[in-house]
Amino acid sequence: MRLLILGGTGDAAELAAKVATIQGLEAITSLAGRTREPSVPLGGLRVGGFGGAAGLTSYLRVMQIDLLIDATHPFATQISFNAADAATEVGVPRLMLIRPPWEKASGDRWIEVNSVEAAAASLENQAQRVFLTVGRQELAAFANCEKIWFLMRMIDPPSDDALVPAGMILCDRGPFTLNNERQILIHHKIDIIVSKNSGGDATKAKIIAARELGVNVVMVNRPAIPPGEQVTDVDNALEWLFDKLHD
């Protein structure tokens, strides 16, 4: 059987590594191609967009894909809706592997918003030095926050013509330790963190460091995802796969 994993997350890479050991199952991971030097998953790999839902539909047919696991980031919703449409069209069973969101805990000072644009608007008159962790593609939303200094963390630097707010770029890739995140908040005198509610452990330390140091967090809530079967971890995704293999 042939499995397509829509990737770009640590969970997708872990799933690909575990699936590589299952006999009778060939997996292909698909990456969007946004990161210059992505961690290469085990098993088959393809890189780049499919050309919308129609392109993905024809890929599923041409490659004779039997099963699809959408393990993309919770904020990558376009590809998830395309996957839902394409899998329905071709009749391929589809599972979403989506880690649970972070829950607000005692001591957290979260301002919850529903979009990156709302996060930018919420900063006005509240923040002076912001740790911006929403990724390279969302920087433009903050470009008009003129009175604020931003420490912007991302994997690859933005292109020369990208609209970027004033501040400093820090290129780094998680997982990040609690000590690392504490040092950043203290050293750069950060008064607000802006984060997507990505969930998972790799980038959670900044939330804990903010709690400890009494730093506010503007937390962007998750967008809606398509309906369909969901699991929250790799082991449950493997169980779903075994069920399908033995159907």
Can you give the binding site for ligand NAP, defined by CB under 6 A?
6-9, 30-32, 34, 49-52, 55-56, 72-73, 75-79, 82, 135, 196
CB of 71 to ligand NAP, least distance (A): 8
Q: How far is the CB of 53 from ligand NAP (least distance, A)?
A: 7
Q: How far is the CB of 12 from ligand NAP (least distance, A)?
A: 7
Q: What's the min distance (Å) between Cβ of 198 and ligand NAP?
A: 7
Nearer to ligand NAP, 49 or 175 (CB): 49
Nearest to ligand NAP of 77, 88 (CB atom):
77
CB of 54 or CB of 166, closer to ligand NAP: 54
Pick between residue 86 and residue 145 the one whose CB is nearest to ligand NAP.
86
H-helix segments, 76-204:
77-90, 116-123, 178-187
Nearest-angstrom CA–CA distance, 25 and 60: 16
In the bound state, the residue with its beta carbon closest to ligand NAP is 49
Sheet order of strands, 110-113 included: 110-113, 216-220, 192-196, 129-132, 149-154, 167-171
Q: What letter would DSSP give residue 13? A: H
Beta-bridge mates of residue 167: 150
Strands, E assignment, 65-179: 67-70, 94-97, 110-113, 129-132, 149-154, 167-171
